[in-house]
Chain A
Amino acid sequence: GAVVSQHPSRVICKSGTSVKIECRSLDFQATTMFWYRQFPKQSLMLMATSNEGSKATYEQGVEKDKFLINHASLTLSTLTVTSAHPEDSSFYICSARVLADVEQYFGPGTRLTVT
């Protein structure tokens, strides 16, 4: 099956700093990548969708200036949490798919803790 990696798997940062999370499709070219956030005991919430070479489409209520997404190539997307605050502490998961009508594969997730 398709493999998606994320780095780092876990990060702790201080309030006010920025954190970058990388998402890579290892054995396929991902035309679309998705970023999700999951708080404890809650379901996945889609934050944004990005297509290679285009600006990301953010879901309602997600601040695009705070969560910067770059999808510069068909195998790499990055999410930068700028000026992180404790309420941004969460499990961030990326997902990728090749074409619009096939399955979506998830990375292992990044657990962000902001102190």
Chain B
Amino acid sequence: QKEVEQNSGPLSVPEGAIASLNCTYSDRGSQSFFWYRQYSGKSPELIMSIYSNGDKEDGRFTAQLNKASQYVSLLIRDSQPSDSATYLCAVKQGSQGNLIFGKGTKLSVKP
């Protein structure tokens, strides 16, 4: 059973701090990794994708991938209250496969 694990949280950080969200996956052959943000009552929104080891930065977001450790993370710098949402980690099975989602980490950014 291929799995994606996330800490459900809630993770609470003060405004302006760095929020660190973590995800591990079981399928060593996975090649594509995604972070989605989901506000309450809304559908997921893609915020980052990463395919190779290392860091990928986009604005206040940095995705980090370590395939040897089967670990992917998302850092949010200068966290804002509007970042409060559930963050879903998703891993794609192979090049043709479907996304496997973690259960999500709920982030709360306190003003």
Chain A interfacial positions (CB closer than 8 Å to B): 1, 34, 42-44, 46, 49, 91, 93, 100-101, 103-109, 111
Interface size range on B against A = 10 to 19
User: What are some 13 contacts across the A-B interface (CB < 8 A)?
Assistant: A43-B104, A44-B88, A46-B99, A91-B41, A91-B43, A93-B43, A101-B95, A103-B46, A103-B49, A106-B36, A106-B44, A106-B45, A107-B43
Cβ–Cβ contact B32 & A101, under 8 A: yes
B56 within 8 A of A: no
Complex Cα gap A37–B49 (Å): 23
Chain B interfacial positions (CB closer than 8 Å to A): 32, 34, 36, 41-46, 49, 88, 95-96, 98-99, 101-104
Q: DSSP class of A's interface residues: helix, strand, loop or mixed?
A: loop
Residues in chain A near residue B104, CB distance under 8 A: 43
Complex Cα gap A107–B44 (Å): 8
Complex Cα gap A34–B99 (Å): 10
Residues in chain A near residue B32, CB distance under 8 A: 101
